[in-house]
Structure 1
Amino acid sequence: MLLCDVCGNEIGARIVFCPFCGIKQERELVCKKEYIQRLVNLEHGLPFVEAALKRLDRAVLEAGQQGVTQLTLIHGYGSSGKGGVIREESRKMLDFMWMNGELKKIVFGEDFTKSSGEVRDLIRRYPILGQDRNLNKANRGITLVFF
Protein backbone atom coordinates (compact mmCIF):
# COMPACT_ATOMS: atom_id res chain seq x y z
CA MET A 1 0.00 0.00 0.00
CA LEU A 2 1.08 3.55 -0.74
CA LEU A 3 -0.16 6.91 0.49
CA CYS A 4 -2.03 9.40 -1.70
CA ASP A 5 0.20 12.32 -2.69
CA VAL A 6 -2.50 14.82 -1.62
CA CYS A 7 -4.83 13.46 1.08
CA GLY A 8 -2.48 10.87 2.63
CA ASN A 9 -4.98 7.99 2.60
CA GLU A 10 -3.72 4.49 1.85
CA ILE A 11 -4.26 3.45 -1.75
CA GLY A 12 -3.12 0.54 -3.89
CA ALA A 13 0.25 0.74 -5.60
CA ARG A 14 -1.28 0.64 -9.07
CA ILE A 15 -4.06 3.18 -8.43
CA VAL A 16 -3.82 6.18 -10.76
CA PHE A 17 -6.63 8.27 -9.19
CA CYS A 18 -7.13 8.37 -5.41
CA PRO A 19 -10.59 6.96 -4.54
CA PHE A 20 -10.83 9.40 -1.60
CA CYS A 21 -9.92 12.77 -3.12
CA GLY A 22 -9.96 11.93 -6.85
CA ILE A 23 -6.53 13.44 -7.50
CA LYS A 24 -4.27 11.82 -10.07
CA GLN A 25 -1.13 10.34 -8.52
CA GLU A 26 2.06 11.70 -10.10
CA ARG A 27 4.52 9.07 -8.93
CA GLU A 28 6.35 6.73 -11.21
CA LEU A 29 5.50 3.08 -10.85
CA VAL A 30 8.90 1.66 -10.06
CA CYS A 31 9.26 -1.90 -8.92
CA LYS A 32 12.34 -2.11 -6.75
CA LYS A 33 14.33 -5.28 -7.03
CA GLU A 34 14.61 -7.19 -3.78
CA TYR A 35 18.15 -7.20 -2.35
CA ILE A 36 19.35 -10.80 -2.30
CA GLN A 37 22.84 -11.58 -1.07
CA ARG A 38 24.71 -14.88 -1.34
CA LEU A 39 28.03 -16.03 0.11
CA VAL A 40 30.21 -18.53 -1.77
CA ASN A 41 33.41 -19.96 -0.30
CA LEU A 42 35.64 -20.77 -3.26
CA GLU A 43 38.38 -22.19 -1.06
CA HIS A 44 36.15 -24.63 0.85
CA GLY A 45 37.79 -28.06 0.87
CA LEU A 46 41.12 -26.59 -0.33
CA PRO A 47 40.43 -27.15 -4.05
CA PHE A 48 42.90 -26.84 -6.89
CA VAL A 49 42.60 -23.62 -8.89
CA GLU A 50 40.60 -25.25 -11.70
CA ALA A 51 37.97 -26.58 -9.27
CA ALA A 52 37.70 -23.19 -7.54
CA LEU A 53 37.20 -21.45 -10.90
CA LYS A 54 34.49 -23.94 -11.88
CA ARG A 55 32.80 -23.24 -8.54
CA LEU A 56 33.05 -19.51 -9.26
CA ASP A 57 31.60 -19.86 -12.76
CA ARG A 58 28.71 -21.98 -11.47
CA ALA A 59 28.03 -19.56 -8.58
CA VAL A 60 27.89 -16.54 -10.91
CA LEU A 61 25.64 -18.36 -13.37
CA GLU A 62 23.23 -19.51 -10.66
CA ALA A 63 23.20 -16.10 -8.98
CA GLY A 64 22.30 -14.43 -12.25
CA GLN A 65 19.49 -16.92 -12.89
CA GLN A 66 18.10 -16.58 -9.35
CA GLY A 67 18.01 -12.77 -9.36
CA VAL A 68 20.73 -12.37 -6.74
CA THR A 69 21.79 -8.74 -6.24
CA GLN A 70 25.18 -9.28 -4.62
CA LEU A 71 27.52 -12.22 -4.30
CA THR A 72 30.32 -12.27 -1.71
CA LEU A 73 33.11 -14.56 -2.84
CA ILE A 74 35.61 -15.91 -0.34
CA HIS A 75 38.77 -16.78 -2.23
CA GLY A 76 41.28 -16.26 0.55
CA TYR A 77 44.44 -14.23 0.40
CA GLY A 78 46.90 -17.10 0.20
CA SER A 79 49.77 -18.05 2.47
CA SER A 80 52.52 -16.50 0.34
CA GLY A 81 51.91 -13.01 1.68
CA LYS A 82 51.36 -11.56 -1.79
CA GLY A 83 48.00 -13.07 -2.74
CA GLY A 84 47.08 -16.63 -3.55
CA VAL A 85 46.58 -18.21 -6.96
CA ILE A 86 42.83 -18.75 -6.42
CA ARG A 87 42.48 -15.07 -5.54
CA GLU A 88 44.41 -13.88 -8.58
CA GLU A 89 42.76 -16.23 -11.08
CA SER A 90 39.23 -15.67 -9.77
CA ARG A 91 39.71 -11.89 -10.03
CA LYS A 92 40.94 -12.28 -13.62
CA MET A 93 37.86 -14.36 -14.40
CA LEU A 94 35.56 -11.79 -12.77
CA ASP A 95 37.20 -8.98 -14.76
CA PHE A 96 36.55 -10.95 -17.94
CA MET A 97 32.89 -11.49 -16.95
CA TRP A 98 32.53 -7.77 -16.15
CA MET A 99 34.01 -6.75 -19.53
CA ASN A 100 31.52 -9.09 -21.23
CA GLY A 101 28.60 -7.43 -19.42
CA GLU A 102 27.76 -10.38 -17.18
CA LEU A 103 28.39 -8.36 -14.00
CA LYS A 104 27.44 -4.79 -13.09
CA LYS A 105 30.18 -4.09 -10.57
CA ILE A 106 33.08 -5.75 -8.78
CA VAL A 107 34.41 -4.47 -5.45
CA PHE A 108 37.56 -6.03 -4.04
CA GLY A 109 37.54 -6.57 -0.29
CA GLU A 110 40.44 -4.20 0.31
CA ASP A 111 38.45 -1.44 -1.47
CA PHE A 112 35.18 -2.11 0.40
CA THR A 113 35.32 0.98 2.62
CA LYS A 114 33.02 3.92 3.25
CA SER A 115 35.81 6.23 2.12
CA SER A 116 35.36 4.90 -1.44
CA GLY A 117 32.92 6.93 -3.53
CA GLU A 118 31.93 3.79 -5.42
CA VAL A 119 31.05 2.01 -2.17
CA ARG A 120 29.13 5.04 -0.85
CA ASP A 121 27.05 4.99 -4.05
CA LEU A 122 26.35 1.28 -3.55
CA ILE A 123 25.31 1.88 0.07
CA ARG A 124 22.92 4.63 -1.07
CA ARG A 125 21.42 2.20 -3.56
CA TYR A 126 21.42 -0.77 -1.17
CA PRO A 127 21.32 0.61 2.42
CA ILE A 128 21.63 -2.85 3.98
CA LEU A 129 25.13 -3.03 2.51
CA GLY A 130 26.19 -0.47 5.13
CA GLN A 131 25.71 -3.18 7.77
CA ASP A 132 27.92 -5.73 6.01
CA ARG A 133 30.46 -7.17 8.45
CA ASN A 134 33.25 -6.85 5.88
CA LEU A 135 32.79 -3.09 5.41
CA ASN A 136 35.94 -1.13 6.37
CA LYS A 137 37.88 -4.34 7.15
CA ALA A 138 40.23 -4.18 4.12
CA ASN A 139 39.71 -7.94 3.69
CA ARG A 140 41.91 -9.00 0.77
CA GLY A 141 40.42 -12.50 0.89
CA ILE A 142 36.99 -11.55 -0.48
CA THR A 143 35.44 -9.94 -3.53
CA LEU A 144 31.91 -8.54 -3.82
CA VAL A 145 30.11 -8.97 -7.13
CA PHE A 146 26.95 -7.06 -8.10
CA PHE A 147 24.41 -8.11 -10.74
Structure 2
Amino acid sequence: MSRCPFCESELKFSAPGQGTPHRVVKLKRGMPTVEQALGRLERELEQAQKEGCRVLTLIHGYGSSGQGGAIREEIRAKLQYLKYRGEINDVFTGEHFSTGNGPGRNLLRRFPFLRQHSDLNKGNRGITLVVL
Protein backbone atom coordinates (compact mmCIF):
# COMPACT_ATOMS: atom_id res chain seq x y z
CA MET A 1 0.00 0.00 0.00
CA SER A 2 1.34 3.43 -0.97
CA ARG A 3 0.68 6.54 1.08
CA CYS A 4 0.73 10.22 0.21
CA PRO A 5 3.94 11.77 1.60
CA PHE A 6 2.02 14.89 2.64
CA CYS A 7 -1.27 13.76 4.16
CA GLU A 8 -0.57 10.02 4.71
CA SER A 9 -3.79 9.00 2.93
CA GLU A 10 -3.82 5.74 1.00
CA LEU A 11 -3.02 6.11 -2.70
CA LYS A 12 -4.96 4.02 -5.18
CA PHE A 13 -3.44 3.27 -8.56
CA SER A 14 -4.95 1.52 -11.54
CA ALA A 15 -3.09 0.39 -14.60
CA PRO A 16 -4.01 2.12 -17.87
CA GLY A 17 -6.62 0.17 -19.74
CA GLN A 18 -7.59 -1.83 -16.68
CA GLY A 19 -11.29 -2.64 -16.53
CA THR A 20 -14.10 -1.33 -18.66
CA PRO A 21 -13.83 2.41 -19.35
CA HIS A 22 -17.62 2.97 -19.21
CA ARG A 23 -20.54 1.29 -17.52
CA VAL A 24 -24.28 1.95 -17.34
CA VAL A 25 -26.00 1.55 -13.96
CA LYS A 26 -29.80 1.45 -13.65
CA LEU A 27 -30.42 2.93 -10.20
CA LYS A 28 -34.17 3.04 -10.81
CA ARG A 29 -34.43 -0.72 -11.45
CA GLY A 30 -37.14 -2.26 -9.27
CA MET A 31 -38.77 1.06 -8.26
CA PRO A 32 -36.46 1.68 -5.26
CA THR A 33 -36.98 4.19 -2.48
CA VAL A 34 -34.57 7.12 -2.31
CA GLU A 35 -32.60 5.36 0.44
CA GLN A 36 -32.34 2.15 -1.60
CA ALA A 37 -31.18 4.09 -4.67
CA LEU A 38 -28.52 5.91 -2.62
CA GLY A 39 -27.30 2.58 -1.23
CA ARG A 40 -27.11 1.14 -4.73
CA LEU A 41 -25.19 4.24 -5.87
CA GLU A 42 -22.57 3.77 -3.15
CA ARG A 43 -22.11 0.08 -3.99
CA GLU A 44 -21.86 0.75 -7.72
CA LEU A 45 -19.33 3.56 -7.28
CA GLU A 46 -17.17 1.36 -5.07
CA GLN A 47 -17.35 -1.55 -7.52
CA ALA A 48 -16.59 0.65 -10.54
CA GLN A 49 -13.55 2.14 -8.82
CA LYS A 50 -12.26 -1.34 -7.94
CA GLU A 51 -12.68 -2.40 -11.57
CA GLY A 52 -10.85 0.66 -12.93
CA CYS A 53 -13.94 2.04 -14.67
CA ARG A 54 -13.52 5.69 -15.72
CA VAL A 55 -17.10 6.84 -16.41
CA LEU A 56 -20.47 5.68 -15.08
CA THR A 57 -23.79 6.56 -16.64
CA LEU A 58 -26.38 6.50 -13.89
CA ILE A 59 -29.99 6.00 -14.96
CA HIS A 60 -32.11 7.41 -12.15
CA GLY A 61 -35.14 8.61 -14.08
CA TYR A 62 -36.68 12.04 -13.71
CA GLY A 63 -39.83 11.32 -11.74
CA SER A 64 -42.84 9.15 -12.50
CA SER A 65 -44.91 12.17 -13.53
CA GLY A 66 -42.13 13.73 -15.59
CA GLN A 67 -41.50 16.33 -12.92
CA GLY A 68 -40.03 16.27 -9.45
CA GLY A 69 -37.89 13.17 -9.19
CA ALA A 70 -36.78 12.72 -5.58
CA ILE A 71 -34.30 10.01 -6.56
CA ARG A 72 -32.74 12.21 -9.24
CA GLU A 73 -32.41 15.15 -6.84
CA GLU A 74 -30.92 13.10 -4.01
CA ILE A 75 -28.53 11.19 -6.30
CA ARG A 76 -27.26 14.43 -7.82
CA ALA A 77 -26.89 16.06 -4.40
CA LYS A 78 -24.90 13.07 -3.16
CA LEU A 79 -22.68 13.15 -6.26
CA GLN A 80 -21.94 16.86 -5.77
CA TYR A 81 -20.98 16.10 -2.16
CA LEU A 82 -18.69 13.26 -3.28
CA LYS A 83 -17.11 15.58 -5.86
CA TYR A 84 -16.55 18.23 -3.17
CA ARG A 85 -14.85 15.59 -0.99
CA GLY A 86 -12.65 14.46 -3.88
CA GLU A 87 -14.12 10.95 -3.97
CA ILE A 88 -15.18 11.34 -7.60
CA ASN A 89 -13.69 13.61 -10.26
CA ASP A 90 -16.69 15.14 -12.00
CA VAL A 91 -20.44 15.04 -12.57
CA PHE A 92 -22.35 15.84 -15.78
CA THR A 93 -26.13 16.00 -15.91
CA GLY A 94 -27.84 14.38 -18.87
CA GLU A 95 -29.49 17.62 -19.88
CA HIS A 96 -26.01 19.16 -20.39
CA PHE A 97 -24.37 16.12 -22.01
CA SER A 98 -23.95 17.72 -25.41
CA THR A 99 -21.38 18.53 -28.06
CA GLY A 100 -22.82 22.05 -28.10
CA ASN A 101 -21.53 23.24 -24.74
CA GLY A 102 -18.07 23.64 -23.21
CA PRO A 103 -18.31 21.06 -20.42
CA GLY A 104 -19.77 18.47 -22.81
CA ARG A 105 -17.04 19.06 -25.38
CA ASN A 106 -14.36 18.79 -22.69
CA LEU A 107 -15.84 15.51 -21.47
CA LEU A 108 -15.79 14.10 -25.00
CA ARG A 109 -12.18 15.19 -25.48
CA ARG A 110 -11.20 13.35 -22.31
CA PHE A 111 -13.27 10.27 -23.11
CA PRO A 112 -13.76 9.94 -26.89
CA PHE A 113 -15.62 6.63 -26.46
CA LEU A 114 -18.56 8.66 -25.10
CA ARG A 115 -19.23 9.98 -28.63
CA GLN A 116 -21.07 6.66 -29.15
CA HIS A 117 -23.27 7.23 -26.07
CA SER A 118 -26.96 6.81 -26.89
CA ASP A 119 -27.93 9.90 -24.85
CA LEU A 120 -25.42 12.36 -26.32
CA ASN A 121 -27.22 15.56 -27.44
CA LYS A 122 -30.61 14.31 -26.21
CA GLY A 123 -31.02 16.46 -23.09
CA ASN A 124 -31.99 13.41 -21.02
CA ARG A 125 -32.86 14.59 -17.48
CA GLY A 126 -33.07 10.98 -16.32
CA ILE A 127 -29.32 10.30 -16.45
CA THR A 128 -26.14 11.60 -14.86
CA LEU A 129 -22.57 10.82 -15.93
CA VAL A 130 -19.89 10.41 -13.27
CA VAL A 131 -16.16 10.62 -13.93
CA LEU A 132 -14.32 8.47 -11.40
Q: Is the TM-score greater than 0.5?
A: yes
1:81 deviates by 3.4
Deviation by residue 1:87-138 (Cα, 9 ceiling, x = unmatched): 0111111011000001111000000011111111121122111111110000
Give the aligned length.
116
Partner of 1:33: 16
CA distance in 1, matches of 2:88, 2:101: 20
- Look up the equivalent residue of 1:72 and give its one-letter code: T
CA distance in 2, matches of 1:131, 1:124: 13
CA distance in 1, matches of 2:68, 2:51: 31
Partner of 1:137: 122
Q: Secondary structure at the match of 1:52?
A: helix
Superposition CA RMSD, Å? 1.4
CA distance in 2, matches of 1:120, 1:44: 30
Q: Which runs of 5+ in 2 are unaligned?
A: 1-14
* Residue of structure 2 aligned with 1:63, choices 21, 42, 48: 48
Structure with more helix by fraction: 2
Q: Secondary structure at the match of 2:100?
A: coil
CA distance in 2, matches of 1:124, 1:92: 26
Q: Which is worse superposed, 104-113 or 35-44?
A: 35-44
Matched, 1:94 2:79: yes
Partner of 1:44: 29
* Runs of 4+, deviation exceeding 3 Å: none
Partner of 2:63: 78
Q: Which has the larger radius of gyration?
A: 1
CA distance in 2, matches of 1:136, 1:119: 9
Q: Which runs of 5+ in 1 are unaligned?
A: 1-31
1:33 deviates by 3.1
- Look up the equivalent residue of 2:52 and give its one-letter code: G
Q: TM-score when scaled to structure 2?
A: 0.82
CA distance in 2, matches of 1:33, 1:145: 19
Q: Secondary structure at the match of 2:129?
A: strand
